[in-house]
Amino acid sequence: MNYALLVHAAPYSHQAALSALRFADAIVTGGHRLAAVFFYHDGVHNASALMSPPQDEIHLAEGWKRLHEDHGTQLLVCIAAGLRRGLLNTDEANRHGLASHNVEAPFELTGIGQLVDAMLNNDRLITFAP
């Protein structure tokens, strides 16, 4: 079965982000395909390259990156929600005249159309929200 996830929760502020990552691990461990994770609303903060949790906590961004590296899962970040919350890649930082960025590959800034595509082209879309 092919899955996509929709994550609305910021890391470390609500259980939903960690639950989404654990569910994602269960999907691929169970032999299913996790095609994409779409980060929306406060969930875009999962893509921040500036996260630095204590060593005894799960590093959520690293967990998402591992899913991409091991299983080819797309990590899609809503560009509108990201820009509102100060999450930019190099191109957007340059476009807006900002000196730095905090979204790096394999996370991709993209539009809401990618969420629609994930809904249409996978068997299930599971949402994790506060």
Q: What is the mean pLDDT of residues 118-122?
A: 96
Task: Report CA torsion sign: 83, 60, 14, 3.
Answer: positive
CATH 3.40.1260.10 is right for the domain spanning 2-128: yes
Q: What is the mean pLDDT of residues 9-24?
A: 96
pLDDT one-digit tens code per residue, 62-97: 999 999 999 999 999 999 999 999 999 999 999 999
Among residues 36, 75, 76, 78, the one annotated as catalytic is 78
pLDDT one-digit tens code per residue, 21-34: 999 999 999 999 99
| Contact (Cβ atoms closer than 8 angstroms) between residue 2 and residue 120 | no
Q: Is the pTM of this model over 0.75?
A: yes
- pLDDT for the residue numbered 104: 93
Residue 95, class by beta-carbon neighbours within 10 Å (0-12 exposed, 13-18 middle, 19+ buried)?
Answer: exposed
Confidence of residue 98 (pLDDT cuts 50, 70, 90): very high
Q: Does 78 participate in catalysis according to the annotation?
A: yes
- pLDDT for the residue numbered 4: 98
How high does pLDDT run on average in the chain?
Answer: 96
| Contact (Cβ atoms closer than 8 angstroms) between residue 118 and residue 7 | no
- pLDDT > 70: percent of the chain: 100
Using CA atoms, how far apart are residues 20 and 127, in angstroms rounded to an integer? 8
- pLDDT for the residue numbered 120: 96
